[in-house]
Chain A
Amino acid sequence: MANPLLSPSLLRTLEQFQLLASRRARSSARGERRSRARGQSVEFADYRNYVHGDDFRYLDWNLYGRLERLFLKLYEEERELPVRIFLDASESMTFGEPVKFDFARQVAAAIGYVGLCGFDRVSVIPFPALPPNGQTDPAAWILQSAARGALRAVRGRKSAMQFFQNLAALTAGGQADLNETLRRGALEARHTGLAVVLSDFLDPAGYEAGLTALVGRGFQVDVVQILAPEELTPTTYGDLQLVDSENGAVQEVTFGRFRLKAYQQTVQNFIQRLKEYCQPRGINFFTAASNTSLEDLLLRQLRKAEVWA
């Protein structure tokens, strides 16, 4: 079955990567990540005195021969890295050519695929949450609900295709609350890990509280801001009455070519403020227009920033 999000060549390239986490994995499930836990692996960690009930197989007989004391060899336990991808599926993500949401799903698929190849547990959290059943087409709601449910925890490379299909089944709509979503995501996580936030960050309430909650919880946070080309360089001029797609707010503006630079400066200021917020908090920040090359983002920018290697 063909992957609707990523090309086979890109997948092959991504298979060679592994997500880098500066923090040790704290998951309880076994995986391939070094952790502070002691367990079974080939990596020697430490010795400790034998106590009654320990497994004889881990006694260091050579040391007993020299010291006549029983020491137990400890090995590092390799555990999984929980990767939580916060995917903005609000109405504002449905704009752009190409659509921002499609670009975000591709980035999520790529990060998720790298995570799955590394035996990490990948969770995709689309927000806003689905409206209660009955407000939309029931069949579509069930489909959406199933896809979202399936994306909550995916592990193992063999689940990649299903993962992609579920991602492709997602739709965007509604008004998002970025802060609330991130804050809740931080609280709900049993184990911290890697948190990737894919959004346009065009939330009137801001983003600071949510990102702070993630960082405070112990997540290593990567932020990818995705903007539409029209948001960076508007092409509609004249007397405009702009209607916000999410909250319906109306803004009257008269816009001409000679003010384009001022607008672009405003956008750059907005991006710069987000970047300046992220950097002191150890958050990797990336921005991309939805029409930029996916490969450039994934293979160059993210790699350069050592999101993966």
Chain B
Amino acid sequence: MNFLAPAALVFAVTIPVVIVFYLLKRKRVVKLVSSTLLWQKFLAETQASSPFQKLRRNWLLLLQILLLALATFALARPYFAAKIKPAHLRVVILDASASMQSTDVSPSRFESARAEALKWVDSLAGRDQMVILQAGAYTEVKQSATSEKAALRRALQSCAASDGPTRLVPALRMAESLVRDQPGAEIHLFTDGAVPELREFENKALPLVFHRIGVRANNVGLTALDARANPEDARQRAVYVNVANFSSNQVETELELRLDGRLLETRPLRIGAMEISPQVFITTQPRDGIFNLRLSARDDLACDNEASLVSLLPRPVKVLLVSKGNRLLERALRAAPLVQLSVAQSLTDPAAGFDFVVLDGVVPAVWPRGNLLAFRVPNTNWFESLSQIQAPAIVDWKSTHPLLRYVGFDNVQVVESLTAKTPSWASSLVDSPQAPLILAGELGRQRIAWVGFDPLDSNWPLRISFPIFIANAVEWLNPANVQGGQLLIKAGEAFRLPLLHPETSAQVVLPDGKVREVPLDATANEFVFGETHRQGAYRLRIGTNELVFCVNLLDAAESDNRPRDELRLGQFERVTATTLQRANLEVWRSILALGLFVLLTEWWYYHRRTV
């Protein structure tokens, strides 16, 4: 036997209550009478009479008959033969991003959103169904379509806000697929509106109902963090941090910098309304460690007031230049900091002892395993086809890529270049009208920067951008920097670590001290850990190695926790926050209260009029 609403079994406690009513001993009035003889005879006559008596008009009897009739009627499951209206689907998307932890509404925006969503669950009518989606760093289906309110409540209760950013697009995409071709379906989005643009959904006519959560913006947060060698003194470390004030008032606060828990510096800050204050801390770092920055501001969102960063001391970069002779390139490489350059005419081994290899027009006999900077090297494994073009004009370059930071290609002319169609593993950094000239990407675990032309066939080495490009390449291709970059991830993103040796298990200690044992496949060549909802330092033990990686929010869109009155879907479409309240009010509580009242009336009447 199954129950549609097993929670209703809790009403069985009313049975002992009724029994208790009957067990209650009546308080009798003591009365002195002349003799109890007549009363004894009276009781004997009335009790010893026939088992049946004449049916008297008795309100008590009528009430009991009424109750039994109603119960029997209900057990018969009466229904009306009518045309069934199609069930409506409601997709509830609960924003579980960091900004929903704001405490401007008590106890938090997330709890308020959950409570509001629970009201909508309560108001679910008849056969209407609901889907619960939790939108955080990734979208999670907490409950598939069902009209079972208990399951929906459980699903909502299992939701939790994370320290990660909002990725509403996947959630809305999933919701859109659910409500497609469903007449009357609605998407209820419970969020504060601190979401990235939803241009994708412009003109999709989404049946979106935006429930705005939150009342004010009062937040100061860290939105960017990095640590590098001091450009002016390589022995020192420079910690870059952006502090943004998203409230409408000027904020005075203090910013603390700690290294492995030791306070290095406290800096008072005064940040105007809606301003970003970039701060640079110059400090010495005797060993590898964790920089921790903390804002003392008391604002509505606490999770962006702290950020951590694993900082590894710079190590010498061993570079092998395989070239027939290119003094400009060699000098540019030597000029880069911490580079230990070796030069060879040819390459016959994988160059395992070097951090990366620079191939200057030389096709090696054995391709190196490490990272690679290749000038005019035709490798058919990388490209489908290669061709040559003469005097390609450089029309565009991607200055946001780390390789092209501060690098410009104005006044750079190229005589001749190899070109190839951009492969899937790479992206084009410098484009000519015909084809890309410089490509960069990651093939397997190997970072490759490919320049299609020989620098000597251009005037690029004479431009300031060339040594900067080489310095950028040294930094980008340095495996230590690659690893360092891997040690800083955003909340909700997966932590990945290449495995050099097969391992069977790993252990991760979370910021709150909990330990997660992660079993590994012996054939796996990468360790992936996805439980990064909370920011802080995670300690990983895998084999004999132990390392620390940091998870941070560092998201300006999340820190900007102003509740929005409307969501922008592209340039023209907007969804205004709804004032819609619960649609359907159930009346079963009132009916139950009425039944209880009838029961109590019956009990009262029973005792008032006596047996």
Contacts and interface: CB of A to CB of B under 8 A. Distances in A.
B38 A243 contact: no
B31 A254 contact: no
B34 interface: yes
B36 A256 contact: no
B39 A242 contact: yes
A258 interface: yes
Given A251-B40, A262-B42, A262-B46, A202 B35 contact: yes
Contact of A237 (B26, B32, B56, B610): B610
B81 interface: no
A223 B609 CA distance: 39
Interface of A: 91-96, 100, 200, 202-204, 228, 231, 236-246, 249-256, 258-259, 262-263, 265-267, 269-270
A270 B41 contact: yes
B32 A243 contact: yes
A249 B33 CA distance: 10
Contacts of A202: 34-35, 37-38
B43 interface: yes
A269 to B, nearest CB: 7
B35 A239 contact: no
Majority-rule SS of B interface residues: mixed
Contacts of A245: 32-35
A269 B33 CA distance: 20
Interface string B3-44: 000000000000000000000001111111111111111110
Given A202-B38, A239-B610, A262-B42, 14 more contacts: A92-B34, A100-B34, A204-B35, A231-B34, A237-B610, A241-B31, A243-B30, A243-B31, A243-B32, A246-B35, A266-B38, A267-B38, A270-B38, A270-B41
**10 closest A-B pairs by CB:** A202-B35, A92-B34, A95-B34, A256-B610, A266-B42, A241-B28, A251-B36, A239-B28, A254-B611, A254-B610
Nearest to A253: B39
Contact of B31 (A100, A242, A258, A265): A242
Contacts of A266: 38, 41-42, 45
Contacts of B610: 237-239, 254-256
A259 B46 contact: yes
B184 to A, nearest CB: 59
B23 to A, nearest CB: 15
Nearest to A265: B45
User: Which of B27, B29, B42, B56 lies at the interface centre, i.e. has the most chain A CB atoms within 10 A of its CB?
Assistant: B42
Interface in B56-70: 56
Contacts of A231: 34, 38
A94 B30 CA distance: 18
Nearest to B57: A258
A256 B37 CA distance: 18
A269 B45 contact: yes
Given A239-B28, A239-B29, A256-B609, A200 B41 contact: no
Contact of B45 (A244, A249, A255, A262): A262
Contacts of B32: 242-243, 245
Contacts of A203: 37
B31 to A, nearest CB: 5
A132 B39 CA distance: 32
B25 to A, nearest CB: 10
13 contacts: A95-B33, A96-B34, A202-B37, A237-B610, A239-B26, A243-B31, A243-B32, A245-B32, A246-B35, A251-B36, A254-B611, A256-B609, A262-B42
Contacts of B27: 239
Contacts of A200: 34-35
Interface in B424-470: none
Contacts of B30: 240-241, 243
Contacts of B33: 95, 242-245
What size tier do the contact residues of chain B reach?
20 to 34
A228 B32 CA distance: 14
Interface of B: 26-43, 45-46, 56, 609-611
Contacts of B29: 236, 238-241
Nearest to B46: A262
Contact of A204 (B37, B45, B46, B609): B37
A252 B28 contact: yes
A94 B610 CA distance: 29
Contacts of A256: 609-611
A265 B36 CA distance: 16
Contacts of B56: 258
Contacts of B34: 91-96, 100, 200, 202, 228, 231, 245-246
Contacts of B45: 262, 265-266, 269
A210 to B, nearest CB: 16
Contact of A242 (B36, B46, B611): B36
A270 B33 CA distance: 17
Contacts of B43: 251, 253
B205 to A, nearest CB: 72
A262 B39 CA distance: 11
Contacts of A240: 28-31
Contacts of A246: 34-35
A241 B45 CA distance: 19
Nearest to A266: B42
Contacts of A93: 34
B54 to A, nearest CB: 11
A291 to B, nearest CB: 15
B75 to A, nearest CB: 33
Contacts of A253: 39, 42-43
A234 to B, nearest CB: 9
Nearest to B32: A243
A267 B35 CA distance: 13
Contact of A236 (B31, B37, B38): B31
Nearest to B29: A240
A265 B38 CA distance: 11
A250 B39 CA distance: 11
A250 B42 CA distance: 15
A263 B42 contact: yes
Contacts of B31: 236, 240-243
A228 B46 CA distance: 22
Contacts of A238: 28-29, 610
A244 B38 contact: no
B38 A258 contact: no
Contacts of A243: 30-33, 36
B180 to A, nearest CB: 70
A169 to B, nearest CB: 22
Contacts of B37: 202-204, 244
B607 to A, nearest CB: 8
B43 to A, nearest CB: 6
Contacts of A242: 31-33, 36, 39
User: Which of A91, A242, A263 lies at the interface centre, i.e. has the most chain B CB atoms within 10 A of its CB?
Assistant: A242
A94 B29 CA distance: 21
Given A239-B610, A240-B29, A254-B610, A249 B36 contact: yes
A189 to B, nearest CB: 28
Contacts of A269: 41, 45
Nearest to A252: B28
A269 B31 CA distance: 24
A254 B29 CA distance: 10
User: Which of B56, B610, B611 lies at the interface centre, i.e. has the most chain A CB atoms within 10 A of its CB?
Assistant: B610
